[in-house]
Structure 1
Amino acid sequence: MGKWFRAAALALIAPLMLAGCLFMPGKFESTMNVRADRSFTFTYKGEVLAVDLAGMTGQMFAGLAAMGDKKEGEEGADTAPKGPSAEDVAKQDADNRELAAKLSKEPGYNKVEYRGNNVFYVDFSTSGTLTHSFVYPYNQDAGMVLPWVAIELRGKDMVRVKTPGFAKQDSSATGGMSSPEESKTDGVFTLTTDAEVVSQNNEEGGTKAGGVTTIRWTLTPATEDAPTAVLRVKSL
């Protein structure tokens, strides 16, 4: 029974262990400027929080395995997952400092600083032309594979700006599992554009001055709808 239970538990959590780390926004300010000619500029300044999925799921597996080893009706010892050891914390800090050093050399990262307790400070900015989609953050080597911000090309003359990482994550974003840690999102996302705004989901709407529309979303852990807007731009 114990061996079967351990095998079943491992099968359930193995996909999460492979994910490595999950990165979440903390306190931040982010801007996106999309021009009608398809040029754009994106910035993110603020906290990035790292969640060690491998460590969390490993602790979970140890607890489940211990439960599986218990005989029916046996009281046994407390099998609740235990927190990381001092050695684990030191290793995670070392890995995070190494990650910060690597990211600081990547294009767009003006500053990357590890501040301890799995918290980074990031100053990122980039500009380009929307002849292709754009996502942030995305870095396979660093394990950043679940983008918070995306611009998708929609047909020949429209783009959709969406920020799924700035709102509550649905289960599809994490392989059918809910987020392992409560959101600490505390930020503002501002979209400015001189393009036609076809649709957007800010209940307060936007403001327009000098031919430029500004839409500002205030984001908290309770935010359910990811900031989204569809814009009509120069045709390809």
Structure 2
Amino acid sequence: MPPLRRAIAAAILVPLALALAACLFLPGKFQSTLTIHADRSFAYSYTGEVVAIDLTGAMTKAVSGMADAAEDGSATPSDEATDAAEDPAKKDAEYRELAEQVRKEAGYKTVEYRGNGVFYVDYALSGRLTHNFLFPYNQDAGMVFPFLAVELRGKDGVRIKAPGFAKSEGKGAMGTGDDAIAKLDGSFTLITDAEIVSQNNEDGATTVPGGKSITWKVNSQTDDAPMAVLRVAGL
């Protein structure tokens, strides 16, 4: 690699390596339901696809292409960048091992790796909201971008936001997640008998046995992440 291109690539890769995990996980085709009761009991389920993006390989290609362009005006990725990309068979083996690890965690009834970076997940967990809840979140597995975040606000507030269930410029860093974002297709339903302080679904809530229900249909064109604020029993 010529000195100039090596220096440019290093200058770009170092901060990216610090800022990004090895993989980015995004929802594919799915159904998800969150039930929160006024007494703070809750249940959450996610059934469907989780799509993994290999950021290491994708960013190596992108950065090497940028370095080539800076040196000779060409945006064509170099052979070195192609060689640096992960071998597909090796990456599949890593993903199968990851599926085995995640399957051991509470809530995961099924975790299957189905190839091409796609996992099938059947997850269900219940409890009481005395602390924040994130799904998925596993530092060891690199799952650090949650699809859903339930945050406690003050003594009796609960804020629900599902950043994974919407498109986002941040997800497709330098275009690396564009294909995965295109696979986003599902529904997220909130069921509650607590007071709904605010929510961002244009259709609003519908009455169901025991409370209210809000369903967000999401796909690759969804701009706004599902969001709601509830008032529940105080701690």
Normalised-by-shorter TM-score class: 0.7 to 0.9
SS of 1:19's equivalent in the other structure is: coil
- TM-score w.r.t. structure 1 length? 0.88
Q: Which residue of 1 aligns with 2:141?
A: 142
AA aligned opposite 1:41: A
Report deviation, 1:60: 2.1
Moved over 4 A (4+): 80-87
Corresponding residue of 2:113? 114
Aligned length in residues: 228
Residue 226 of structure 2: aligned partner: 227
Counterpart for residue 162 of structure 2: 163
Alignment of 1:78-93 (within 5 A): 78-79=76-77, 88-93=87-92
2-structure distance, mates of 1:193, 1:84: 52
After superposition, the C-alpha distances for 1:114-145 in whole angstroms (9 at most, x for unaligned) are 00011000001111111110001000110001
C-alpha distance 209-67 of structure 1, shift in aligned 2 (>3 A): closer
Q: Equivalent residue for 1:180?
A: 176
SS at match of 1:192: strand
Q: Give the Cα–Cα distance (whole angstroms) in 2 for the partners of residues 211 and 129 of structure 1.
A: 18
Taking only aligned residues, the RMSD between alpha carbons, in angstroms, comes to: 2.4
Residues 83 and 124 (structure 1), Cα distance of their counterparts in 2 relative to 1, 3 Å cut: farther
Distance in 2 (CA, whole Å) between partners of 1:108 and 1:84 is 39
List gaps (5 residues or longer) in structure 2. none
Deviation at 1:58, TM superposition (A): 1.3
Kindly report which structure 2 residues correspond to 1:1-236, keeping only aligned pairs within 5 A, or say none: 3-17=3-17, 18-70=20-72, 78-79=76-77, 88-171=87-170, 177=173, 180-182=176-178, 183=181, 184-236=183-235
For residues 41 and 179 of structure 1, do their structure 2 counterparts lie closer, same or farther at Cα, with a shift above 3 Å needed?
Answer: farther
CA deviation digits over 1:51-98, x for unaligned, max 9?
00001111223333444554x7xx7x9436876799710110000000
CA distance in 2, matches of 1:181, 1:41: 30
**Contact map agreement 2:60 2:85 (CA 8 A) in 1:** no
Q: CA deviation at 1:39?
A: 0.7
What TM-score, normalized by structure 2, do the two folds share? 0.88
On the 8 A contact 1:104/1:110 being kept in 2, the answer is yes
Question: CA–CA distance in 1 between the matches of 2:86 and 2:159?
Answer: 45
CA distance in 1, matches of 2:40, 2:119: 31
Alpha-carbon distance, 1:4 to partner = 4.1
Q: Report the alpha carbon displacement of residue 3 of structure 1 after superposing the two structures with TM.
A: 2.8
Provide structure 1 residue ranges, at least 5 long, that are not aligned to the other structure.
none
Q: Percent identity?
A: 53
In 2 relative to 1, CA 133–93 (structure 1 residues): closer, same or farther, beyond 3 Å?
A: same
Q: State the distance in 2 between where 1:49 and 1:145 align.
A: 14
